[in-house]
Amino acid sequence: MTATLSEEQMDARATSVPTVVARPWERRSEKVQSWQRDRLALVYVRQSTPQQVHDHQESTRLQYGLTGRAQDLGWAAERVVVIDDDLGKSGASADGRPGFQRLVTEVSLDHVGIILGVEMSRLARSGKDWHQLLELCALFRTLIADLDGVYDPAEYNDRLLLGLKGTMSEAELHLLKQRMHQGRLNKARRGELAIPVPTGYLRRPSGEVTFDPDEQVQAVVRLIFGQFAELGTLSAVLRYLVRHEIQLGIRVRAGPGTGDLEWHRPNRMTLQNLLRNPIYAGAYAYGRRQVDPRRQRPGRPSSGRRVIDPEGWLVLLPDRLPAYITWEQYERNLARLRANQARADAIGAVRSGPSLLAGLVVCGRCGHRMTVRYSGVVTRHNYLCGRVATDYGGAWCQHLAGPCLDRFVSQQVLTALEPAALELSLAAASQVEQERAALDRLWQQRLERAAYEAERAERQYQVAEPENRLVVRQLERTWEEKLVARQQLDEAYHRFAREQPRLLSPTEQATIRRLAADIPALWDAPTTTDADRKAIIRQIVAQVTVAVQGESERVQVTITWAGGVQTAGELVRPVARVDQLSYYPRLVERVRALAAEGLSMAAIAARLNAEGFRPPKRRERFGPQGVHDLLQRLENRTPRRRSEQPVDLGVHEWWLADLARATGMPPVTLFSWIRRGWVTGRQQAEPPRRWILWADEAELEQLRERHRRPISYYTRHPWVAAP
């Protein structure tokens, strides 16, 4: 039996089921669940640069129009949120994109049902950021929609397609960057890529780089290079510029005043960039600062750049630009800057302190640079080679007192300078006059500029209509300010001219010749500082190699001069113990012979001094007490006062003199250790109140080890010798 529908039933069915033509995304809307519509729909709006936001406004309107699509998918208008915080920002990274970070946060809080964007590149062009977002969306069942459809990251097929789109988006950005970088590099290899020019240069509208037309700007740049060649350190050049009130002329690079000349006070970073820039040597360079990903910081896309050596530059074209200095002088400046750094392998800059050879002394045993250590209430210094002990935990290589080595090298330097006394006087006079002439030219240029600005303000005031008092009053104030500045500058110049005339007077010339003729007197003059002496030594001495003969007082010294010539010699250093003296066996034999003759201590001391024997440490002559201590040491006995009664010592107890002989140190040193608390002992209650010290075998060995260490060791490591 076939069931048939009546005409009324067919009409009713046709009326109850309307025919609707669904749009493409609505045909795939079955992925959208009702519970997802209860969450937010986020519309992410982004364009890469501010220029794109300004020029491509249709793309912006298209992205904002996605709010309508969210409503077509079933979201209420009040549940649709637009995130446009990242307009004008690149999608290469999540750093610096607060809008994307807000989106990820909302997804992580399970607040988002769907994310809408025109294409996947709007969300992220980094595989790391994109896949992190996919993981979160899959975990919280958040949908992603673009112009092609709606995707569920929890489904494998959609996840695969979204991953492919993210990969293509990242690859697209890489290809764009690669093409742009290769284009810049090819243009730079031809020397046609426009790079910012520093102070002292100007780029014309045609692209040609020339000297700055302002003579004062050029004069300041040349003065900086000249002073660095003379003074040798960046800090000294900065102090020189500040002392003479010299400013740097900087051209404005952006804003309404682009190209205008402004005068700024010098600073350390500007001077450092000036000395390191190869443009001043006439070279076109590209790629001097390259990005190291390990140094990049979140939120700072421009960070991570570091200056590399010229060997690693991408482009280096010499003799392409006008030059202030030669390429050889530029390389010398870089070498000087590296040598001024406080590093173990560098000579370092001239610093305060009495050590005249800091950075120049090299160990003759291991070849490492020796360091300077200061100790004592009265500042004394030692030269110490502790590289092996510091880096590898080994023993100290060698050390010696600094003053004796400083005197030896200073005498050699003065001897080397003596034949050139006349040339030095002439060079000094010429240098002083050249420096004063350069400063005078700068002052004249500053006066000329001040006069021009005052005259210009006057012309502006004269051409103004007298009736327009609103303008005239301001022009009048400006004119008065320029006149006051011109007068103050003129007064300052006259003070400078009185204090430092351009030409040396006959009295000054005679003083320079007299001082140059008597170089030792000039060297020891109170007005000559240790920094001055160090600077003189470094001009002619390249290296001082020292080698102590065992533990004796004799030191072999080799001076390598700046030209490569070497001078060898031997000096005598102070030592701590008498048995360290190289002539100790002869001294012992002679003292015993003189004592056998029945001579007094004073007579023995006089004979020893007459025969050329010298005591250890810093004493110049033997005295009666020194001879007495030496005899007591040789006879291995301690004199006892008549009133002293015999005392029975306990186990491991010593008299002070006996323990001093057992450890090989002077009694006075051991007594100072008692005062510091480095030795355990007790003092007799009754006269003569002698010290009784305690030391077993382990303590004896520890005392000997302490005594073998240099004095500066305890200054740097006071905790090592603590009880």
CB 605 within 8 A of CB 629: no
CB 534 within 8 A of CB 350: yes
Are 241 and 136 found together in one domain? no
CB 65 within 8 A of CB 43: no
Q: What would the two tokens of residue 498 be?
A: 């009185």
Give the domain-ending residue among 129, 156, 185: 185
Output the CA–CA distances (angstroms, integers) from residue 512 to 248, 425, 517, in the order listed. Answer: 33, 6, 9
List the catalytic residue out of 48, 93, 169, 425: 48
CATH number at residue 214: 3.90.1750.20
Residue 13 resides in a domain: no
Rounded Cα distance between 336 and 325, Å, is 15
Sign of CA dihedral 223, 224, 225, 227: positive
The residue whose two tokens read 């549940």 is: 79
Are 324 and 392 found together in one domain? no
48 is catalytic: yes
Are 54 and 125 found together in one domain? yes
Number of domains present in the structure of the chain: 4
Residue 347 resides in a domain: no
Residue 3 reports pLDDT greater than 60: no
Give the domain-ending residue among 574, 590, 623: 574
pLDDT by residue (tens digit) across 407-457?
888 888 888 777 665 565 556 666 676 777 888 888 888 888 889 888 888
Q: Phi and psi of 293, rounded to 5°? A: -55, -25
What pLDDT does 502 receive? 62
What pLDDT does 422 receive? 56
Are 42 and 179 found together in one domain? yes
Q: Residue 163: is it exposed, middle or buried by C-beta count within 10 angstroms (0-12/13-18/19+)?
A: middle
The residue whose two tokens read 């005068």 is: 263
Q: What would the two tokens of residue 111 be?
A: 């607040």
Rounded Cα distance between 536 and 515, Å, is 15
Are 319 and 364 found together in one domain? no
- Listed residue (49, 75, 43) closest to 62, CA to CA: 43
Residue 537 resides in a domain: yes
- Listed residue (595, 605, 645, 599) closest to 626, CA to CA: 605
pLDDT by residue (tens digit) across 263-315?
999 999 999 999 999 999 999 998 888 777 666 665 555 556 777 888 888 89
Distance of CA 191 to the CA centre of its chain: 31
What pLDDT does 385 receive? 87
Radius of gyration of the chain (CA): 42
Sequence-distant (≥ 6) Cβ neighbours of residue 20 within 8 angstroms: none
Q: What would the two tokens of residue 7 be?
A: 């005409």
Sign of CA dihedral 476, 482, 485, 491: negative
CB 544 within 8 A of CB 361: yes
Residue 77 resides in a domain: yes
Are 210 and 312 found together in one domain? yes
Residue 722 resides in a domain: no
- Three-state DSSP class for residue 158: helix
Report DSSP state, residue 243: H
Residue 26 reports pLDDT greater than 50: no
> Averaged over 383-400, what is the pLDDT?
79
Residue 682 resides in a domain: yes
Are 595 and 668 found together in one domain? yes
- Three-state DSSP class for residue 135: helix
Are 162 and 226 found together in one domain? no
Report DSSP state, residue 283: -
What pLDDT does 404 receive? 87
Are 117 and 256 found together in one domain? no
Q: What would the two tokens of residue 369 be?
A: 């640079």
Residue 154 reports pLDDT greater than 70: yes
The pLDDT-based confidence of 57 (bands split at 50, 70, 90) is: confident
Q: Which residue has the higher pLDDT, 506 or 97?
A: 97
| DSSP string for residues in 625-638 | HHHHHHHHHHHT--
What pLDDT does 535 receive? 82
What pLDDT does 640 receive? 47
Residue 351 reports pLDDT greater than 80: no
pLDDT by residue (tens digit) across 601-659?
888 888 888 888 888 876 678 888 878 878 877 765 444 444 445 566 878 888 888 88
Helices vs. strands in the chain: H and E counts, helices first = 28, 23
Count CB-CB contacts under 10 A for residue 615: 22
Sequence-distant (≥ 6) Cβ neighbours of residue 687 within 8 angstroms: 643
Q: Which residue has the higher pLDDT, 185 or 716?
A: 185
pLDDT by residue (tens digit) across 659-696?
888 888 888 888 888 888 888 888 887 776 788 888 88
Q: Which residue has the higher pLDDT, 348 or 112?
A: 112
**Encoded amino acid at 181, one letter:** H
Most confident of 344-353, 412-421, 565-574: 565-574
Residue 54 reports pLDDT greater than 60: yes
The pLDDT-based confidence of 22 (bands split at 50, 70, 90) is: very low
What pLDDT does 514 receive? 64
Looking at the chain, the whole-number percentage of residues with pLDDT higher than 70 is 84
Q: What would the two tokens of residue 233 be?
A: 């350190």
| DSSP string for residues in 529-547 | -HHHHHHHHHHHEEEEEEE
Residue 494 reports pLDDT greater than 80: yes
Q: What would the two tokens of residue 29 be?
A: 């809307």
The residue whose two tokens read 């950021």 is: 129
What pLDDT does 108 receive? 92
Report DSSP state, residue 254: S
Say if residue 646 is preceded by a cis peptide, omega within 30 of 0. no
Are 562 and 463 found together in one domain? yes
Rounded Cα distance between 430 and 438, Å, is 12
Query: What is the total residue count of the chain?
Result: 723
Rounded Cα distance between 115 and 137, Å, is 9
What pLDDT does 222 receive? 92
Report DSSP state, residue 501: -
Q: What would the two tokens of residue 445 be?
A: 């240029």
Rounded Cα distance between 343 and 345, Å, is 6
What pLDDT does 75 receive? 92
Average pLDDT of the chain is 81
Rounded Cα distance between 442 and 246, Å, is 8
Are 163 and 116 found together in one domain? yes
Q: Which residues partner with 233 through β-bridges?
A: none
What pLDDT does 303 receive? 58
Query: What region, left, alpha or beta, does residue 88 occupy, with left being phi > 0 and alpha being psi -120 to 50 degrees?
Result: left
Q: What would the two tokens of residue 657 be?
A: 């003199």
What pLDDT does 139 receive? 92
Q: Which domain holds residue 528?
A: 354-574
- Listed residue (46, 19, 48) closest to 123, CA to CA: 46
Query: What region, left, alpha or beta, does residue 295 occupy, with left being phi > 0 and alpha being psi -120 to 50 degrees?
Result: alpha
Give the domain-ending residue among 185, 210, 238: 185
Task: Using CA atoms of 318, 323, 326, 330 in order, give the dihedral in degrees to the nearest 10.
Answer: -80
Sign of CA dihedral 308, 309, 313, 319: positive
CB 568 within 8 A of CB 556: yes
Are 199 and 286 found together in one domain? yes
Residue 345 resides in a domain: no
Residue 19 resides in a domain: no
Residue 226 reports pLDDT greater than 80: yes
CATH number at residue 126: 3.40.50.1390
Q: What would the two tokens of residue 484 be?
A: 């006051």
> Averaged over 524-531, what is the pLDDT?
80
What pLDDT does 274 receive? 93
Write out the H or E segment, with its range, that includes residue 558.
strand 554-561
